Structure 1
Amino acid sequence: MIPPAESLLKYDNPVLVSKTTDRKSPKGRPLRVSPQQPVNSTPVPPPPKPKSAAAEATRQENEEILNSILPPREWTEGNQLWVQQVSSAPCTRADVIHLEELLDIKLQHRQARETGICPVRRELYSQCFDELIRQVTINCAERGLLLLRVRDEIQMTLAAYQTLYESSVAFGMRKALQAEQGKADMEKRVSDLEDEKQDLKKQLNEQKAKCDAIEKRENERRQVEEKKHTEEIQFLKRTNQQLKVMFPNYKPIFFRFSVSNICVAHFKILICLPI
């Protein structure tokens, strides 16, 4: 396993736990194994003053809370298991300034984006926030726990947005595929409707032609009927004039007859009346 990369979160020196890959602690609780400190030629500082039992208990509790908030890192090299716990050394103002400078250097070195979605920028800022939580937890464990809630809430919100984004992308892809499939169906339907439209236009033209032919035939028949009727009327008028000339003293006798049989009635009158 490759050792973890350098992080903005401050860790202690790695500790060799065992030469086997068996892990006794999944969460990496504080171990009582003495770290392998490098040999330093600087003079040994004087031993610290003895602390009270209450202060020691408080420090031990803060370390446990710190390790629960920020678990140690573990990796293997060959058959050796190494553990690196989070540093419990208190921080100063210079440490915070150095953290800011280191953050800017890493952002520039890893070419993180200044705006938009950038996994590199998000990772570095997460490490910086974890370091701030570590620094606050050393001085006040309650404040560190509160910041832990804030961090978890932010991560949960980001995860929710990421899930929503992925589901939206999947939904958009499904809709795009459905639109492509529906597009072919709609094109086929449009083609069928166009063919149906052409057929209806053809039928309409045929019906218009039939209507025009019927109208023309009826007009011709009406003209023939009108001409025939006019000629019949003219014939009757001439016959009437001739009868008036032939019988000037004749008193008209009215009979009931139809117009169509008027010629027959006149002939009957001529036959029945004496000259």
Structure 2
Amino acid sequence: MAAPPESLLRYCPPVLLSRRGDTASAPGQAPRSPAGLSSAQQPQELLNAILPPREWEEAQKRWVQEVSAAPSTRRDVLQLQERLDRQLQQRQARETGLCPVRRELYTQCFDELIRQTTVSCAERGLLLLRVRDELRLTLAAYQALYESSVAFGVRKALLAEQGKAHLEKRIAELEEEKEELEKQVSEEKAKCEAIERQETERREIEEKKHSEEVLFLKRTNQQLKAQLECIIAAKN
């Protein structure tokens, strides 16, 4: 494992901890919660508890690097701000939205401010530590909520796609059924028109036949009437 990358947090020069196969002579301390820390501890011990030393292996040697306990001046704070701006630009951190690079750099900057404050005032440093841990918990909760909402949205989108495919299939079936029904309606309409034509023709034929019969009966009646009149006239 190579040496850790450059950090905005100020560290002491690295110290050789052990060689591979040797017993570690000065193992790093595990981080403790703010409730287990006390301002009565030595500055370096307190800093190691707040900001644990970083360890790595290089060329079969194990190195450890503790956070610096050196006090900071106003110039150090200005240099920290310059380094932060430079790192944001060099690593192309996004100015808005979620950006892991920007979050990492601001976390390092906040840890450096905690270090500087702890050196000058242990109580203030411990209070800032509580603030940092609370912010981390809040960010973790928001991140979990965001990931959960994204997963929920993906599931809903998949269900919507499945429902869309089902609806598209149903629409196609209904359109096919509609075309079939329209075809049946056209056929029935054609049958009705044919029946109407047949009935119209039949009615016209019946009316013509009836008219002819009426006319024949009228003629027959006139003939019989004329014959009757002639018979009556002959008897007189």
TM-score (norm 1): 0.65
**Once structures 1 and 2 are overlaid, which stretch shifts more, 181-190 or 153-162?**
181-190
Give the superposition deviation at 1:174. 4.4
Q: CA 1:230/1:24 → structure 2, altered by over 3 Å: closer, same or farther?
A: same
Distance in 2, matches of 1:64 and 1:235, equals: 138
Give the superposition deviation at 1:179. 5.1
Q: Which position in structure 2 is the counterpart of 1:27?
A: 30
Q: Which position in structure 1 is the counterpart of 2:189?
A: 208
Q: Which position in structure 1 is the counterpart of 2:232?
A: none
Give the superposition deviation at 1:100. 1.3
Matched, 1:71 2:52: yes
Distance in 2, matches of 1:244 and 1:119, equals: 123
Give the AA of the match of 1:7: S
Greater percentage in helix: 2
Give the superposition deviation at 1:186. 4.4
Counterpart selection for 1:192 from 173, 176, 184: 173
Matched, 1:4 2:4: yes
**Superimposed CA distance per residue, residues 169-227 of structure 1 (whole angstroms, 9 cap, x where no aligned partner):** 44454455555555554444444333323322221121111101111111112112222
Distance in 2, matches of 1:242 and 1:106, equals: 130
| Structure 2 gap ranges (5+) | 33-37, 230-236
Give the match's secondary structure for 1:204.
Answer: helix
Distance in 1, matches of 2:27 and 2:111, equals: 25
How many corresponding residue pairs? 222
Structural mapping, 1:245-264, within 5 Å: 245-247=226-228
Q: CA 1:28/1:69 → structure 2, altered by over 3 Å: closer, same or farther?
A: closer
Give the superposition deviation at 1:126. 1.0
**Once structures 1 and 2 are overlaid, which stretch shifts more, 236-245 or 146-155?**
236-245
Give the match's secondary structure for 1:3.
Answer: coil
Structural mapping, 1:1-275, within 5 Å: 1-19=1-19, 20=22, 27=30, 60=41, 63-78=44-59, 80-178=61-159, 181=162, 184-247=165-228
**Superimposed CA distance per residue, residues 211-250 of structure 1 (whole angstroms, 9 cap, x where no aligned partner):** 01111111112112222222333333334434444446xx
Give the match's secondary structure for 1:60.
Answer: coil
**Once structures 1 and 2 are overlaid, which stretch shifts more, 136-145 or 18-27?**
18-27
Distance in 2, matches of 1:229 and 1:151, equals: 111
Rg: which structure is higher?
A: 1
| Structure 1 gap ranges (5+) | 30-56, 249-275
Distance in 2, matches of 1:121 and 1:132, equals: 17
Give the match's secondary structure for 1:97.
Answer: helix
**Superimposed CA distance per residue, residues 88-108 of structure 1 (whole angstroms, 9 cap, x where no aligned partner):** 222221221121122223223
Give the AA of the match of 1:202: K
Identity %: 66
Give the AA of the match of 1:71: P
Give the match's secondary structure for 1:74.
Answer: strand
Distance in 1, matches of 2:41 and 2:179, equals: 91
Distance in 2, matches of 1:247 and 1:58, equals: 152
Distance in 2, matches of 1:214 and 1:58, equals: 108
Give the superposition deviation at 1:15. 3.4
Q: What is the root-mean-square deviation in Å for CA atoms of aligned residues?
A: 3.3
**Once structures 1 and 2 are overlaid, which stretch shifts more, 189-198 or 15-24?**
15-24
Distance in 1, matches of 2:123 and 2:51, equals: 14
